[in-house]
Amino acid sequence: MAMIRMILAVRGYRGRAAVIGFFEVLVWLVAVGQALQHLHSIWHVLGYATGFAAGNYVGVWLEEWLAIGLRVVRAIFRNGSAHRGVQAAQLLRERGFGVTEVQGRGLEDVVEILELVVERRNVPEVIQLLRQVDPGVFISVEEVRAIQGGYVRPGGRKLPFLTRLRTLLVRLRV
């Protein structure tokens, strides 16, 4: 719970972090209370330490599974493959992703740079589509703290109307 709480807090989900923090402290008080009552027993101490380690492992696994947050995916098509950048942008747009295309200059040639802001759970799909067009594409992925305006694919949500409602409220500045 501590791992998920910290990640949510860092990403700005204060309410969710507070709720998890509440339950985290309840569990912690009970567990520490039991451990302190049985400090003479190596099995209780080892059990507490094992539970703590297991909680960290499960927390990291759960956070990866939840895939909370947004990522910027940047793809650079180079070495004469800039036209593939246009093809990749078209393919990504057909799949519902918002793509920004920028032309640049690399060491040897003109490059095509694609930038996308996607939900973290969609990053593997985007990378697979980019590699499908050009297996040698340079890809970087970065965490996003906040966005304003623009387009982020709302697909994949269980309640997509909430995404549309949030977008409308942001536009109306409510």
Q: Which residue did the predictor score with more confidence, 156 or 52?
A: 52
3-class SS of residue 171: helix
Average pLDDT of the segment spanning 93-113: 89
Using the 8-state DSSP alphabet, how is residue 158 labeled?
S
Beta-sheet strand order (sheet of 110-119): 100-105, 110-119, 70-77, 138-144
Burial (0-12, 13-18, 19+ Cβ within 10 Å), 29: exposed
Asked whether the beta carbons of 134 and 84 are under 8 A apart, the reply is yes
pLDDT for residue 157: 46
pLDDT for residue 22: 92
- Judge whether residue 159 has pLDDT over 60: no
Residue 98 φ then ψ, to 5°? -85, 130
How far apart are the two ends of the chain, measured CA to CA in Å? 32
- Judge whether residue 146 has pLDDT over 60: yes
Average pLDDT of the segment spanning 27-37: 81
Q: Which residue did the predictor score with more confidence, 63 or 91?
A: 91
Q: How confident is the model at residue 167 (pLDDT cuts 50, 70, 90)?
A: low
Which ranges of the chain would DSSP assign to H, the alpha helix? 2-10, 14-37, 42-66, 82-94, 123-133, 160-172
What pLDDT digit, counting tens, does each position of 107-139 carry?
888 899 999 999 888 999 999 999 999 998 999
Average pLDDT of the segment spanning 131-160: 74
H or E stretch covering 111: strand 110-119
> What is the percentage of the chain residues whose pLDDT exceeds 90?
26
- Judge whether residue 174 has pLDDT over 60: no
**Amino acid of residue 28:** W
Residue 168 φ then ψ, to 5°? -65, -45
CATH 3.30.70.120 domain position(s) in the chain = 70-165
**Average pLDDT of the chain to the nearest whole number:** 81
**Looking at domain 70-165, which of 3.40.50.300, 3.30.70.120, 3.40.190.290, 3.40.920.10 is its CATH number?**
3.30.70.120
| Cα–Cα distance, 14 to 76 (Å, whole number) | 35
Q: How long is the chain?
A: 174
pLDDT for residue 134: 92
What is the torsion angle, in degrees rounded to the nearest 10, for the CA atoms of residue 68, residue 71, residue 73 and residue 74?
-160
- Point out the least confidently predicted range of 14-28, 70-84, 114-128: 70-84
pLDDT for residue 61: 82
